[in-house]
Amino acid sequence: MAKLSREFFAQPTPQVARELLGRVLVRRLPDGTELRARIVETEAYRGAEDTASHASRGMTKRNAVMFGPPGYAYVYLIYGRYHCLNVVTEPEGVAGAVLIRAAEPLTGLDRMRTLRPVRRPVDLTNGPGKLCQALAVDRSLNGTDCVAGHVLWIEAGSPVDDSAVERLPRVGIDYADERDRTALWRFVIRGNQWVSKRT
DNA sequence: CAGCGGATGTGCT
DNA sequence: GCACATCCGCTGG
């Protein structure tokens, strides 16, 4: 299955977020094991004009990757315990990234359950922090090239039809301006079991 | 089941 | 010092 290209990620962020639904996120572990999961929930974060975005106040040490070339991983620590995985969008110099919030495990489930012990498989990857734990994604992968690299990438998978796409406000951004709190920049596959619980 | 608060590191959102 | 693009365990109904 073909990897998504640099040009794909260079598009406007909300468009990339919508187009990532149904695509396959792949994580290759140091021992060669490949973990695969189908993306079912994303959020778009833009630059200076988006007060919900880490990039809204300009470039810092943490968010620098968001300003770089598209197709790279932006991974940050949240609440001191969890990680969130984004893929950088827009042309180089324009900040933007898509947060991958939830996915449906496809291969390597046994390994995911070792990384993240849970009773029910549905709890493996139905949230951004859970997804990172199950796929062994942490800050050491910040800045990883998801187009030319061989550690983390996204395959074409099966794009989702418009009729199956639900657009919702983003979650966990109470601090943002009303305009940004209400923007429909969260994309989910309608009715999918693996979508995160926070709605 | 819902609701609430603790965990725990980093940037000032 | 406080807030945070989160998750989990404990409590009460």
**Residues A39-50: pLDDT tens digits?**
999 999 999 999
Are A152 and A138 contacting, i.e. CB atoms less than 8 angstroms apart?
no
Report which of residues 97-156 in chain A place their beta carbon less than 7 angstroms from any atom of strand B.
Answer: none
Percent of chain A with pLDDT over 90: 97
Other CB atoms within a 10 A radius of the CB of residue A189 amount to 22
Confirm whether any atom of chain C, the nucleic acid strand, is less than 7 Å from CB of A173. Answer: yes
Cβ of A129 near strand C (under 7 Å)? The reply is yes
Q: Which of A57, A54, A78, A51 has its CA nearest to residue A176?
A: A51
Tokens found for residue A169: 């406000």
Model confidence pLDDT, tens digit, residues A146-188 = 999 999 999 999 999 999 999 999 999 999 999 999 999 999 9
| Percent of chain A with pLDDT strictly greater than 70 | 100
Is the C-beta of residue A197 closer than 7 Å to nucleic acid chain B? Answer: no
A32 touches strand B (CB under 7 A): no
All domains in chain A, ordered by first residue: 6-189 (3.10.300.10)
3-state percent breakdown (helix, strand, coil) of chain A, nearest 5 = 20, 30, 50
Report DSSP state, residue A53.
Answer: S
Chain B nucleotides with an atom closer than 7 Å to a protein C-beta: 7-13
* pLDDT bracket for residue A199 (50, 70, 90): confident
DSSP letter for A185, please.
-
Q: What is the pLDDT of residue A57?
A: 93
CA dist A181 and A165 (Å) reads 20
Using one digit for the tens of pLDDT, what is the confidence trace for A22-33?
999 999 999 999
Distance in angstroms, CA of A60 to C1' of C1? 21
Does at least one atom of strand B sit less than 7 Å from the CB of A60? yes
Backbone angles phi, psi at A117, to 5 degrees: -70, 115
Q: How far apart are CA A130 and CA A54, in angstroms?
A: 21
3-state secondary structure of A27: strand
Copy the structure tokens of residue A31: 């021992």
Whether residue A198 is predicted with pLDDT greater than 90 in this model: the reply is no
Nucleotide minimizing C1' to CA distance for residue A52: B13
pLDDT of amino acid A1: 84
Q: Is-contact A54 A45, C-beta < 8 A?
A: yes
Instruction: Look at residue A67 in the predicted model and tell me its pLDDT.
Output: 97
- Tokens 């966990």 sit on residue: A172
Q: Is pLDDT above 80 for A9?
A: yes
Q: Tell me the per-residue pLDDT of A95-153, one tens digit each, with 9 for 90 and over.
A: 999 999 999 999 999 999 999 999 999 999 999 999 999 999 999 999 999 999 999 99
> A58-74, pLDDT tens digit by residue?
999 999 999 999 999 99
**Nearest partner of A130 among A82, A195, A78, A198, judged by Cα:** A82
Task: Calculate the angstrom distance between C1' of C7 and CA of A8.
Answer: 32
Residue A199 CA to B13 C1' — how many Å? 22
